[in-house]
Amino acid sequence: MNFLNLLNALPGAVAQGLIWGIAAIGIYITFRILDIADLTVDGSIGTGGAVCIMMMLSGHNVYVSMLVATLAGMAAGLVTGLFHTFMGIPAILAGILTQFGLYSINLKIMGKANQAIGADKYDLLVALRYVKNVPFYKNTIFVVTVVVIILIAILYWFFGTEMGCALRATGCNSNMSRAQGINTNFSKVLGLMISNGLVGLSGALLCQYQGFADINMGRGAIVIGLAAVIIGEAIFGKIFKNFGLKLLAAVLGSILYYFVVQTVIWLGIDTDLLKLLSAVVVGIFLAVPYWKAKYFTKPSAKKGGKAHA
């Protein structure tokens, strides 16, 4: 094991972590703000990649391709939202149904299981070869960092508007929000659309970065996104109180996740176990608040009972 090999691989881990961090922001919106476990993302990230790569292969500009990929992701979120609100299907099952259907749709979009695109023939916004030895304005890390900052700024502004506050209120207490005259169904659909639009954008960047779109590229995306959100909250939760900083924490959590993945690869651990490792990490971080409340915090009722006695 050569430590220099790990150091050389870290810029790539940062770039990949930033790209997945955009998806993590989308997952944060549904998981933390709407309080919905949305499994659509396993399909919508692939949809974003498939749409982007096919648009570029057919001669469209990279920015137009990414915009259409984002809209395709939003359409996937709209379908899940309608399944949940209009048809009364539980959110988790609605996401599974959409994800299941997107597999066939993604296959039809690409025409086959995978499509490749190269930086030699196409003007890509990001690419693996742009991580090192390129001008800073073309560097993948710089470009994606700028995209992340712009997205966080837009979301920070949006969730401060009346519509954004209604969306947050829906996630906090749907019944009370409905009593206050908020259309909670609309808020849920809008939240799912925004979330999956971000995931679709992440897929568009990811397919450029890795040089191909694959029918299975979104498999396990929900676990990676949740890992990023949970790790970010666990490490930066007590420092980052502002809403914008909480979104940034999800991105930083994604980068840390890929640092861990890169370290695991460097240590020579079987890469077939990476998804198992991700599941274990997410499970542990999700369990920590429960363990802390159950085993390390004295119940207030007991304190009150002793004081009364």
**pLDDT tens digits for range 176-234:** 999 999 999 999 999 999 999 999 999 999 999 999 999 998 888 998 898 899 889 88
Mean pLDDT in residue range 250-257: 93
Predicted pLDDT at 307:
44
Predicted pLDDT at 103: 94
pLDDT band at 1 (very low <50, low <70, confident <90, very high): low
Least confident of 6-10, 30-34, 90-94, 239-243: 6-10
The pLDDT value given to residue 220: 84
pLDDT (0 to 100) of residue 308:
45
Domain ranges of the chain: 3-308
pLDDT(306) > 70: no
Place 299 in a pLDDT band, splitting at 50, 70 and 90.
low
Q: Which pLDDT score, from 0 to 100, does residue 23 have?
A: 96
Please state the three-class secondary structure of the chain as a single string. Answer: CCHHHHHHHHHHHHHHHHHHHHHHHHHHHHHHHCCCCCCCHHHHHHHHHHHHHHHHHCCCCHHHHHHHHHHHHHHHHHHHHHHHHCCCCCHHHHHHHHHHHHHHHHHHHHCCCEEECCCCCCCCCCCHHHCCCCCHHHCHHHHHHHHHHHHHHHHHHHCCCHHHHHHHHHHHCHHHHHHCCCCHHHHHHHHHHHHHHHHHHHHHHHHHHHCEEECCCCCCHHHHHHHHHHHHHHHHCCCCCCHHHHHHHHHHHHHHHHHHHHHHHHCCCCHHHHHHHHHHHHHHHHHHHHHHHHHCCCCHHHHHHHHHC
Q: Which CATH number fits domain 3-308: 1.10.3470, 3.50.80, 1.10.540, 3.30.70?
A: 1.10.3470
Instruction: Name the more confident of 3 and 100.
Output: 100
In this predicted structure, the answer to whether residue 301 has a pLDDT above a threshold of 50 is: no
For the residues 154-164, what does the mean pLDDT come to? Answer: 96
